[in-house]
Amino acid sequence: MHEPATKPIMPKLPGPARLLHGGDYNPDQWLDSPDVLAQDIELMKKAGVNCVSLGIFAWAKLEPEESRYDLDWMAAIIDNLYDNGIYTILATPSGAKPNWLAHRYTEVCRVNRDGQRELPGERHNHCFTSPVYREKTRAINTVLAKRFADHPGVILWHLSNEYNGECYCSQCVDAFRLWLREKYGTMEKLNHQWWSAFWSHTITDWNQIYPPVPYGEKNVHALTLDWKRFVTHQTVDFMRQEIDALRAVCPDMPVTTNLMGFYPGLNYFKFKDDLDIVSWDNYPQWHTGDDVETAMVTAMAHDLMRSIKGEPFLLMESTPSMTNWQPFSKLKRPGMHMLSSMQAIAHGSNSVQYFQWRKSRGSSEKFHGAVVDHCGHGNTRVFRDVAELGSRMADLGFVADTAVRPDVAILYDWENRWAIDNARGPRNSGMHYVETVTDHYRPLWEMGINADIVDMECDLSRYKLVIAPMLYMYRAGIEQKLKDFVSGGGTLVGTYWSGVVNENDLCFLGGFPGGGMDEVFGIWAEEIDSLPDGQTNALVLESDRSVRYPVSELCELIHTRGAQVYATYERDFYAGMPVVTQNSYGNGEAWYLAAKADPAFLREFYRKLALARGITMAIDADLPHGVVASLRKGTSDLVFLQNYNNQDAIIMLPTTMKNMETGEAERTPVLGPYELMILEL
């Protein structure tokens, strides 16, 4: 997976245009305004747009009444775009149901968690199980494929839009029961794994099972977990049906769908085998908090999206100015549009696409940022920012020959997240799993160390360092993978609240971490103490007891079984007990952090570890706060130097490096506010 993409994924795309720039285009809203459509083309060319996403919400225009299709308008648009050098990513329109469809076939509308069938309207709310909806999407997808698959301008399928949500209709409930039968085989096995003897919940008939709802079962965590898995399964299954309809007509056209980063509702790793390309929609909220922190969180999301397939991805949506759904629609400050767009590329994207090309005139997204505003011309700050980026990207074709190849993997697992968040105890006011993963990502990002964000089903063998925070659940044979990884010479970092349950949330017996991982870490965990917000303890280094760092939230009381104690608790009745340990196992080593550590500790910890284990940094230099570097390797090794400060930053490079855009040699470059520079390593 880490090999550079040697053959193009989108075969129709010529080399020089491999970085895509453009966005969602909804001419279906303006078909009665030919002047607007003509102006669109002119403005796109001015803005350096070479690719649009078309037809995402156009079903009502494509099939204005049942089985009567009208694709001519779309053909004219695609032709015109292509004639002007603009490619089309063509959507399947399942994201929004036409009113006639929802009205005639109510089964396509979801039943919500309260048991209520939803009325027609909104979007992203069709039942994934409904045979009618599957048939109707198959039909329209087939029609679209037959008409447009061979068009030279159509380069990629954009499946639906931001698949999400759940349906609780009886067809979904039946499908869930069937999925459980296939998973468990027998009721006996299900009863054991769900530990249903508890509270007399023994299942004696598959039909006794219902999804977790507010007016039913909420406390059988294995049930809730299986329901979430089923939702992912059913969503992928629906997507696969969409793909099948397309493949039947045009087997070679690649497919993507636009994901949503750390969206909690779906395990995106389950999408990897069905998608040719991962793409995603990225909406950080700049300038309303700490921009450096926002940049870090955004970087991690890019890395997650890239890691799903381990290949370059596409930034499918972003806003050229602001959103209209966040608490404050703050404008992007000058420079930030360029920087935040290039950040995606630095982390492995081969595109910058927007939602949306032109602001719609009415309805709920009319105030969402767009390249073209309601004023209808290009004489705006936003348009100029976009055009500037388009112009720059046009010269960055060489970037598409490179890819991100980290030495480090952080384990982030959606099913683990579901299990931790759904559990009762040990800290109902906040376990903060994702935040903890982020805490471990932050120092790497600060040091210019690229990291993959992978789940338990991924291969770990290519990494030097694997970080596995709060690996509460062990599944997919992760224990064996980790043992192999460490014994093979790898370095593993684990934390408190690891190895507690199996894949069905059933506790390991005999002590935590279970599954034999106590041997890898050389410790066992007896109890876990939960501190209220604001309360802290501290860890004290064994090597220098004057050095202490705060710990908070969760403090595990562990005992060594062979591990060396690196730090101990400072206070409370467990003062002196180990809190950080190091254990040799095979040819590698495993660290255990028994309490939630402060960012300052993690920064020091990973700095030493990176040095000791020879982890690649983009630049071997101390960068000023808010300045970071990210690396793409390939025909050249490219360092993307990014300044997230709203002021100048002077960078002391370890050596003279070539500025890939100016060709000049840089040694102590000055980056202006929100400026980005591409250097050759």
User: Least distance to its own copies from the beta carbon of 644, Å?
Assistant: 16
How many helices and strands, by DSSP H and E, does the chain display? 16, 28
N-terminal to C-terminal alpha carbon distance within the chain: 23
**Nearer to its own copies (CB atom), residue 646 or residue 659:** 646
**Nearer to its own copies (CB atom), residue 103 or residue 667:** 103
Q: Is it true that the peptide bond before 284 is cis, omega within 30 degrees of 0?
A: no
**Nearer to its own copies (CB atom), residue 35 or residue 544:** 35
**Nearer to its own copies (CB atom), residue 322 or residue 641:** 322
**At 299, which helix (H) or strand (E)?**
helix 291-309
- Asked if 159 contacts 255 with a C-beta cutoff of 8 angstroms, the reply is yes
- With H, G, I as helix, E, B as strand and everything else as coil, classify residue 252: coil
Which residues, 6 or more positions from 440, have their beta carbon under 8 angstroms from its beta carbon? 410, 467, 469, 493, 602, 606
User: Least distance to its own copies from the beta carbon of 393, Å?
Assistant: 23
User: Least distance to its own copies from the beta carbon of 488, Å?
Assistant: 29
- Asked if 78 contacts 54 with a C-beta cutoff of 8 angstroms, the reply is yes
User: Least distance to its own copies from the beta carbon of 333, Å?
Assistant: 6
User: Least distance to its own copies from the beta carbon of 21, Å?
Assistant: 22
- Amino acid identity of residue 382, one-letter, is V
Q: Which long-range contacts (CB under 8 A, 24 or more apart) does 323-327 make?
A: 323/283, 323/285, 323/368, 323/369, 324/364, 324/365, 324/366, 324/367, 324/368, 324/369, 325/368, 326/283, 326/285, 326/288, 327/288
Q: Is residue 3 annotated as a catalytic residue, yes or no?
A: no
User: Least distance to its own copies from the beta carbon of 33, Å?
Assistant: 9
Residue with tokens 């032109």: 358
CA-based nearest residue to 57, from 149, 140, 128: 140
**Nearer to its own copies (CB atom), residue 322 or residue 451:** 322
Number of neighbouring beta carbons within 10 Å of residue 127: 28
- With H, G, I as helix, E, B as strand and everything else as coil, classify residue 319: coil
The single residue of 63, 242, 311, 317 carrying the catalytic annotation is 317
**Nearer to its own copies (CB atom), residue 497 or residue 566:** 497
Q: Is residue 182 annotated as a catalytic residue, yes or no?
A: no
| Separation CA 473–CA 446 (nearest Å) | 29
The single residue of 63, 107, 162, 503 carrying the catalytic annotation is 162
Which residues are tagged catalytic? 162, 317
